[in-house]
Amino acid sequence: MYKVMIIDDEASARKLMHNSIDWESVNMQVVGEAASGIEAINTIDEIRPDLAFVDISMPFMNGIEFAELASQRYPDLIIIIMTAHDKFEYARRCVSLHIFEYMLKPMVRSEVMEVLKKAKARLDEVGPVSWGEAEGSSEQQHSMAEAVMKYIQENYTDSTLNLTSVAQAFGFSSSYLSRKFKSETGKGFAQYLTECRMENAMRLAGPDMKMFSISAKVGIPDPNYFGRCFKKYTGKSYSEYAASVTPPSGQ
C-alpha cells in the first residue's frame, strides 16, 4: 500500500481525515501524522510517505515553508496543500513549488477521493517514492559515523536538520546513512539528533529560562513538540526540570 502522512496542527482535523476517508479503496494507508512542519521534518525520514497532506497555516513552519523544503529533499513526494478560503489564492501563487494539488478546507470527502485517485494513478506510473539505496565511495564511508556526529553537534540548532539533509551534505542516500549510522553507533539518526538537542536543552535550562526560548536555541522552535521530546528524554516536564536546576554560584 502507498503510505500517507497528514500534517496539520489541529488534532481534530487530523483525526477526521484519518477516519472519514476510505484509504484502502485507493490502496493507501495513513502511516504517520505531525502537528507542525517542524515535527514533520523531524519524523518524515522514519515514516517515509508517498503522499503528504499539508495544512498551509501552521505555527513555526507553515505549509508553504514545509513544501519548499520537502520538494527539494524529496522530489518524488506527492504534496497536497490544504488551505482555508482566505489563503487559497496565496497558496496557488506558489506555482514554483512541487505541489500536486490545492484543496479547500473544510475538506469534502468526495473531492478528497477524486484527488487520491489521481495521486494513485501517478504512483502507479512512477511506483512508491524512492528513498534511495545508493552508497557513497569507500573514502566517503571511512569514519562516517564520527563525521556525522560531529556535523550534528555543530549544526543541531538548525531546525531543518534531518536525516535527508545530512545525507545530502555527505553525498549518501538517506537509507544508507540511516543503516550505517545505526550499525556503527547503535543508535538511530533521529535518536542521536534528539539526544544532542535534549542534552543541550538540559545544559541551558534554568528557573529563569522559558521553554520557548530554550526550544528555539536547540533547533526545535515548536515548543509543543519540544516539550514532548524533553519529557520523553528526561522523564520530567521542562518546567519541573528547570525548577530543579541550581543556578551557578554568584548568581
Instruction: Extract the runs of DSSP E, i.e. beta strands, from the chain.
Output: 2-7, 28-34, 51-55, 78-83, 101-104
**Ordered structural domains, the chain, with CATH:** 2-126 (3.40.50.2300), 138-244 (1.10.10.60)
Residues facing residue 79 across a β-bridge: 52
Enter the pTM of the model.
Answer: 0.82
Q: Give DSSP secondary structure letters for 179-223.
A: HHHHHHHSS-HHHHHHHHHHHHHHHH--TT--HHHHHHHTT---H
In angstroms, the Cα distances linking 99 to 11, 86, 211, 237 are 23, 19, 34, 38
What phi, psi does 28 have (nearest 5°)? Answer: -130, 160
* Grid coordinates given for 75: 522530489
| pLDDT tens, N- to C-terminus, the chain (251 residues) | 999 999 999 999 999 999 999 999 999 999 999 999 999 999 999 999 999 999 998 988 888 889 989 988 999 999 999 988 777 676 666 656 778 998 988 889 999 999 999 999 999 997 888 776 555 555 555 578 899 999 999 999 999 999 999 999 988 888 889 999 999 999 999 999 999 999 999 999 999 999 999 999 999 999 999 999 999 999 999 999 999 987 665 54
Cβ contacts of 236 within 8 Å, gap of 6 or more: 230, 244
As a whole number of angstroms, the distance between CA 91 and CA 86 comes to 10
Cβ contacts of 149 within 8 Å, gap of 6 or more: 185, 192
Determine the straight-line distance between the first and last CA of the chain, rounded to whole angstroms: 59
